[in-house]
Amino acid sequence: MHELQDDKLPSTVDHPWWALSALLLGLSIIIIDGSVVNVLLPDMIDDLGLTQTGAQWVNSIYSLVFASLLITVGLLADRFGRRKLFLVGIVIFVAASFGSALSQSSGMLIGFRAVQAVGASMMLPSSIAVINVLFTGKRRAQAFGFWGAVFGGAAALGPLLGGFLAEEFSWRWAFIINLPVGLAAFVAIRLLVPETKGPDVKGFDLLGIVLSASGLGLIVWGLIEGQDYGWWVAISEFELGPASFAEGAISPVPVALIGGLALLVGLGFWEAMRSRHGQAALIDLELFKIRRYGFGNVVALVVSLGEFGILFVLPLWIQSVHGYDPLATGAVLATLAIGTLTAGGAARHVSAAIGSTNVVRLGMALEVVSIIGIGLTLSPGRTPWSLAIPLVFYGLGVGFATAQLTNVVLEDVPAERSGQASAMTSTFRQVGSALGAACLGAILFSGLASNLNDALEAEPNLTDEKRSQITQMIRSTAGQAIVQLDEVPALAPEATDARNAYTEAARNTSMVAAGFVFMGLLVSFGLPRSQSNDVSKSPEATAA
């Protein structure tokens, strides 16, 4: 297969839809693995002894490492070839999936999840950049519609697939299944996808990579560990090398959060200085002078805070409060796919009618209303299947917003800068996803502990020590111990209190998630008017 520079790439490539199909096959496994863990967490908690904090790390480490590396690998893809990076990513991802399946401890699983994210980070921006180069005019909206449908559909079907494999075999099979799918994707991409490269850029911004990864890592660490070490005053001792935080002194959490923000601010100044001197920079700040690109990335960040954080909350609530097994939980969540697949197929036609920017706004509005509906529907006395209707509409919103937001963000970006531009957009999404899972997880579990402690104070037969033990047991197991309480008739009132406390915490967390998406909707009004109507009517029009 020949290699082409973007500026030498013809506007029409032979069989681009076959190339798209191959890319989407590879893309599906990394998206599924971003959501499949949510429904497997209860089994992992039982099998590996995961704590509530460990459960959050298994979920968040994937998004964190993913986000930390996307910009770097976007540059590498532009330089060495996007197809080449995609293929290397598949190899790393599949190898790490096998390691995850063999994990015997929480630390081992978290480590292999991090390596999985390294491979995934090579694949996602490469797929977007190739699509941005191979498709122009009205076909681009259609291609990104399919991309969004697979993105949202895979995220929704991940829990169903994971639940089936966990129920019939073991949670480990949710990772083993990546081996044959990854092999098929490798062969298809090798045969069907042309190699493309960006302009030849010299130099490497190593300090930028360190600053971005360290800053994001400290912030996510602080959000996840705040419940264990205290948000301001240390409630337990912490030591790491020369750093020591005694119980009762200042907690390491605010230090990590402030330090992370300082590093990211430093990253901004560093990148600006390198750009002024014409040096290779991790972040192409010139791209943010494109209004559509700048506002679009802020929308991607804010929306992702709530968009995928809610998918961390629901599986835990369904299995803890209603005792559903992974398969039944996955089946409930899979109703979301009905909406995402429908929206993905309809995105091009809706975009032609109202413009791609308005499609993004429509999607976010549907998400806000649906997440609020999900929160209001949560109840210990109502079957989780009552969530199906708001989940379908939520899927519609994700399908519209996800696909066309990518199209909108890259609409004015030159094709030769697609790799770095799409990597930055993916970074904003993944940063939002990691921060959203950490933030909403903190709100959920803090609310659960507070609500349950208040409820148990009203139980006359409980001592302070017993109340504290039950609260700690429920919180540390991410709510899974509620099922154990149900098995002890004498603790039936406490089990009821726990279910009610969990539901109230999940409901409040849903409202926060809806608030994040609503903020993204407000920011989207800073986007310029979309030209999608003109593009859809003119096959010769190009957006690259």
Round the average pLDDT of the chain to a whole number and report it: 77
Whole-number pLDDT of residue 457: 78
Residue 14's pLDDT is: 55
In a domain, 39, yes or no: yes
DSSP 8-class letter at 10: -
Assess if residue 497 is contained within a domain: no
301 lies in the same domain as 185: yes
User: Per the domain annotation, does 438 fall within a domain?
Assistant: yes
pLDDT: is 69 or 540 the higher one? 69
Residue 487 domain-assigned (yes or no):
no
pLDDT (0 to 100) of residue 478 = 65
Among the candidates 279, 304, 324, a domain finishes at 279
Residues 145-178 pLDDT 10s: 677 667 766 776 777 777 777 777 888 888 888 8
Confidence check: pLDDT of 467 > 80: no
Closest CA to 254 of 229, 278, 237: 229
Give the contacts of 250 (CB within 8 A, at least 6 positions apart).
232, 233, 234
- The pLDDT of residue 181 is 86
Per-residue model confidence (pLDDT) at position 9 = 43
% of the chain exceeding 70 in pLDDT: 82
List the single range of 380-394, 451-465, 502-516 with lowest mean pLDDT.
451-465
pLDDT of residue 373: 92
User: Please, what is the angle between helix 464-476 and helix 418-456, to 10°?
Assistant: 160
From the DSSP assignment, how many helices (H) and strands (E) are in the chain?
20, 4
Assign residue 182 a region (left: φ > 0; alpha: ψ between -120 and 50; beta: otherwise). Answer: alpha
Confidence of residue 137 (pLDDT cuts 50, 70, 90): low
The C-alpha torsion from 77 through 16 and 297 to 439, rounded to 10°, is: -80
pLDDT of residue 5 exceeding 60, the answer is: no
Name the domain count of the chain.
2
Region of residue 316 (left: phi > 0; alpha: psi -120 to 50; beta: else): alpha
pLDDT at residue 542, rounded to an integer:
31
Domain enclosing residue 192, as ranges: 3-204+280-451+504-537
The answer to whether residue 442 is domain-embedded is yes
Confidence bin at 201 (pLDDT 50/70/90): low
Residues 180 and 314 in one domain: yes
**Distance from C-alpha of 54 to C-alpha of 298, rounded to nearest angstrom:** 30
Structure confidence at residue 530 as a pLDDT band (50, 70, 90): low
Q: Three-state SS for 395? A: helix
Beta-bridge partners for 53:
none
98 with 243, same domain: the answer is no
Instruction: Tell me, yes or no, whether 391 and 298 share the same domain.
Output: yes
**Are 457 and 467 within 8 A, CB to CB?**
yes
pLDDT at 10 over 60: no
Is 64 within a domain? Answer: yes
Q: What is the pLDDT of residues 419-433, one digit of tens each?
A: 667 767 777 777 777
Residue range 351-367: mean pLDDT, rounded: 84
Contact 525, 118 (CB under 8 A): no
Same domain, residue pair 49 and 157: yes
Say if residues 458 and 243 touch (Cβ distance below 8 Å): no
**Based on the domain organization, do 333 and 397 belong to the same domain?**
yes
The string of pLDDT tens digits covering residues 269-318 is: 998 888 888 777 777 777 888 888 888 888 888 887 777 667 777 888 88
Q: What DSSP character marks residue 233?
A: B
Indicate the pLDDT class of residue 416, thresholds 50, 70 and 90. low
* Structure confidence at residue 369 (pLDDT): 93
Domain end point (choices 279, 299, 328): 279
The number of CA neighbours under 13 Å toward the Cβ of 117 is 26
Give, in order, the Cα–Cα distances in Å from 184 to each of 26, 29, 32, 189, 464.
8, 11, 16, 9, 58
Residues 273 and 416 both lie in one domain: no
For residues 107 and 188, membership in a common domain is answered with yes
Give me the pLDDT at residue 100, please. 87
Q: What value does the mean pLDDT take over residues 233-239?
A: 78
241 plus 365 within the same structural domain: no
Q: What pLDDT is recorded for position 227?
A: 66
pLDDT given at position 368 = 92
CATH of the domain at 142: 1.20.1250.20
Q: Residue 258 has what pLDDT? A: 93
Sign of the torsion formed by the C-alpha atoms of 340, 143, 411 and 81: positive
Q: Is there a contact between 527 and 291 (Cβ–Cβ < 8 Å)?
A: yes
Three-state DSSP at 2 gives: coil
Kindly state whether residues 264 and 293 are assigned to the same domain.
no
Using one digit for the tens of pLDDT, what is the confidence trace for 102-128? 888 878 888 888 899 888 888 877 777
Tell me if 229 is assigned to some domain.
yes
Q: What's the N-to-C CA distance of the chain in angstroms?
A: 23
Q: Among 145, 140, 127, which Cα is nearest to 22's?
A: 127
Sequence-separated (6 or more) residues with CB below 8 Å from residue 372 = 510, 511, 514
pLDDT digits (tens, 9 = 90+) for 30-74: 877 766 776 777 777 777 776 666 766 776 677 777 777 777 777
Domain end position, chosen among 239, 255, 279: 279
For 84, counting Cβ atoms within 10 Å of its Cβ (0-12 exposed, 13-18 middle, 19+ buried), the class is middle
Same domain for 322 and 263? no
Q: What pLDDT sits at residue 262?
A: 95
Whether 494 is covered by a domain: the verdict is no
Examine the domain organization and report whether 19 and 68 are in the same domain.
Answer: yes
Q: Is the pLDDT of residue 483 over 80?
A: no
Per the structure block, which two tokens stand in for 4?
Answer: 């082409």
Look up residue 148 and give its two tokens: 């969004």
